[in-house]
Amino acid sequence: QKEVEQDPGPLSVPEGAIVSLNCTYSNSAFQYFMWYRQYSRKGPELLMYTYSSGNKEDGRFTAQVDKSSKYISLFIRDSQPSDSATYLCASGTGFQKLVFGTGTRLLVSP
């Protein structure tokens, strides 16, 4: 079993929909939870990160961590075609050795 599991998708939604992207992790020592966005043939870029449990909001994006169930979520409100990308979750005990999920490919159609 991988330490961080993520459904590869693709997840297809119409423009304006609320998107829910999810990961699970198995290592209870993980304290840092990151979401990256990766466009085709580009490197990942950090969207948000949270430390320990709780929610964090940034514009249309909300990151949520539930340590009791080891569940990580990213919500995208009012999704746009420009949000079409692969979303990677990552977790770790520190920033230096993050364990990444395989990524979920999101397609937002106009």
Partner 1 sequence: GAGVSQSPSNKVTEKGKDVELRCDPISGHTALYWYRQSLGQGLEFLIYFQGNSAPDKSGLPSDRFSAERTGGSVSTLTIQRTQQEDSAVYLCASSPRRAEETQYFGPGTRLLVL
32 binds partner 1 (CB under 8 A): yes
Q: Is residue 85 involved in binding partner 1 (CB under 8 A)? A: no
Instruction: Write the secondary structure of 49-101 as one string of H (helix), E (strand) and C (coil).
Output: EEECCEEEEECCEEEEEECCCCEEEEEECCCCHHHCEEEEEEEECCCCCCEEC
Nearer to partner 1, 19 or 98 (CB): 98
41 binds partner 1 (CB under 8 A): yes
- Verify binding: residue 65, partner 1, rule CB under 8 A: no
Q: Which is nearer to partner 1, 19 or 103 (CB)?
A: 103
CA distance 37 to 2: 20
Q: Which of 9, 49, 61, 70 binds partner 1 (CB under 8 A)?
A: 49
Can you tell me which of 24, 25, 30, 101 binds partner 1, judged by CB under 8 A? Answer: 101
Q: Are 71 and 22 in contact (CB under 8 A)?
A: yes
First-residue to last-residue Cα distance in the chain: 37
Residues that bind partner 1 (CB under 8 A): 4, 6, 8, 32, 34, 41-46, 49, 88, 90, 95-103
